[in-house]
Copies of this chain bind each other. A is one copy, B any other.
Amino acid sequence: MNLIILTEADALADGHYELSDKRAEHIISVLKCTPGSTVEIGLLNGPVGVAEIESIDESTVKLHVKQTQPAPVISPTIDIICAVPRPQTLKKILLTSAMMGVSQLHLVRANRTEKSYLQSPMMEPENQLPYLLEGLSQGKLTSLPQITLHQLFRPFVEDTWPDLELASSDDNVLLLADMDTSATVLELPQLKTAKHVTISIGPEGGWIDYEVEHWRRLGFTPFCLGPWVLRVEHALTASLAQVTLANTIV
């Protein structure tokens, strides 16, 4: 935990918070804090800062936020469209998305999404939250990615996506991670000045031709991540790393 994420549920009053879960355990056992010590904190969807430990009573920690500053801004803003993955993979996608500052995560049912994935408890927001919080804590960020599940592919690409403000924004660059192209993100000049990027990442085995055709028709430009056959979670990390890098070119 690089940052202790505090939520409204932990708040007492006037900047005082009480923790008694694994964050308290981390403060006591790993950080070895005592009353008067300070810890780095982040207020969920708010600023980061420093809090002072007021008291430690067995497994309960009380702390007081002393100082705050705006949380880091990750630029460009990146949204991810990801085929609904198996539950174990979804956990990694959630953690990575939060850790690397993904803004919106659209989980879309793909032809190769197994039906059972959609019935997994991991599709429930309350089961996703711990992985998102772990990601924020690791990445020292505070903004929860906004997660939306789209149970059907065609209504998403035909109705939902085109209606989103970003879909038609000139500032938004649309990318499709694709093994069938040799063009890299460095060959996309529009990325250099992009303020916003949306990346579509397929399921294990990839999007089927019908799905790829839809992405292309919607203006998504295929790009090649490299010579590898990656798992979905690695494709996500590699995409974010390459797109952000390409965006630094002056």
List the interface of chain A (C-beta within 8 A of B): 2, 72, 74-75, 96, 99-101, 138-140, 184-186, 225-231, 234, 237-242, 244-246, 248-249
Are B241 and A99 closer than 8 Å at their CB atoms? no
Give the chain B neighbours of A72 by CB distance below 8 A: 227
Q: Residue A138 contacts which of B2, B229, B240 (CB distance < 8 angstroms)?
A: B229
Least Cβ–Cβ distance between A156 and chain B, in angstroms: 27
Are B245 and A226 closer than 8 Å at their CB atoms? yes
Give the chain B neighbours of A186 by CB distance below 8 A: 186, 245, 248-249
Least Cβ–Cβ distance between A243 and chain B, in angstroms: 10
Are B234 and A96 closer than 8 Å at their CB atoms? yes
Are A140 and B234 closer than 8 Å at their CB atoms? no
Q: Residue A241 contacts which of B139, B140, B242, B249 (CB distance < 8 angstroms)?
A: B242
CA distance A138 to B230 in the complex (A): 7
Least Cβ–Cβ distance between A56 and chain B, in angstroms: 23
Given contacts A138-B229, A186-B245, A241-B242, 4 further A-B contacts (CB under 8 A): A75-B227, A100-B234, A139-B228, A242-B242
Specify the chain B residue showing the minimal Cβ separation from A238: B241
Are B237 and A241 closer than 8 Å at their CB atoms? yes
CA distance A101 to B230 in the complex (A): 11
CA distance A231 to B2 in the complex (A): 11
Given known contacts A231-B138, A234-B99, A225 and B241 CB-to-CB distance under 8 angstroms: yes
Least Cβ–Cβ distance between A100 and chain B, in angstroms: 5
CB-defined A-B contacts under 8 Å, sample of 30: A72-B227, A74-B227, A74-B228, A75-B227, A96-B234, A99-B228, A99-B230, A99-B234, A100-B230, A101-B227, A101-B228, A138-B231, A139-B228, A184-B245, A184-B248, A185-B245, A186-B248, A186-B249, A226-B241, A226-B244, A226-B245, A234-B237, A237-B241, A238-B240, A241-B241, A241-B242, A242-B242, A242-B245, A245-B245, A245-B246
